[in-house]
Amino acid sequence: MVGPQSAERAAQSADPARPGALDWFTELNRGLRDSLADEALVARMQQTTGQLRQLAREIVAAACAKVPGLDAGPVLRLLGTPPAGSVARLLFDTAA
């Protein structure tokens, strides 16, 4: 028999609107428990910061698509130039 908490966890993991359903987000949370040497910690922080900047760029792009004329310049300047070749999509397609 499946208990109510197990059923709730299963339902949440199947819902793409929940952050835990995103592989990169699940890995980000899992990595919080890792014990890392200084160099590895710096590398992890740089990687994570890059992912969060990419996520922010995607959120800004989605907002601009929904709100024509939205001035995203200040946020984009804070985020800086995306790294060459970065094509990872972190958000679900919200057009549907």
pLDDT, one tens digit per residue, over 6-22 is 444 544 444 555 554 57
Instruction: Give the pLDDT score at 15.
Output: 53
Q: Left if phi > 0, otherwise alpha if psi is -120 to 50, otherwise beta: which for 46?
A: alpha
Domain that includes residue 63, residue range: 11-79
Is residue 52 one of the residues assigned to a domain?
yes
3-class secondary structure for 60-92?
HHHHHHHCCCCCCHHHHHHHCCCCCCCCCCCCC
pLDDT tens by residue, 10-65? 444 445 555 545 777 788 888 888 898 999 999 989 988 888 898 899 899 999 99
pTM over 0.95: no
Cβ distance 37 to 29 under 8 Å?
Answer: no
Is residue 2 one of the residues assigned to a domain?
no
Is residue 58 one of the residues assigned to a domain?
yes
Under DSSP, is residue 46 helix (H, G, I), strand (E, B) or coil?
A: helix
Instruction: Give the pLDDT score at 66.
Output: 94
Is residue 32 one of the residues assigned to a domain?
yes
Helices and strands, number each (H, E), in the chain: 4, 0
Is residue 56 one of the residues assigned to a domain?
yes
Q: Name the band, by pLDDT with cuts 50, 70 and 90, for residue 71.
A: very high
Tally of domains within the chain: 1
Instruction: Give the pLDDT score at 16.
Output: 52
Is residue 26 one of the residues assigned to a domain?
yes
Is residue 69 one of the residues assigned to a domain?
yes
92 vs 15, 25, 38, 42, 60, CA distance in Å? 11, 12, 33, 28, 14
Instruction: Give the pLDDT score at 23.
Output: 79
Is residue 85 one of the residues assigned to a domain?
no
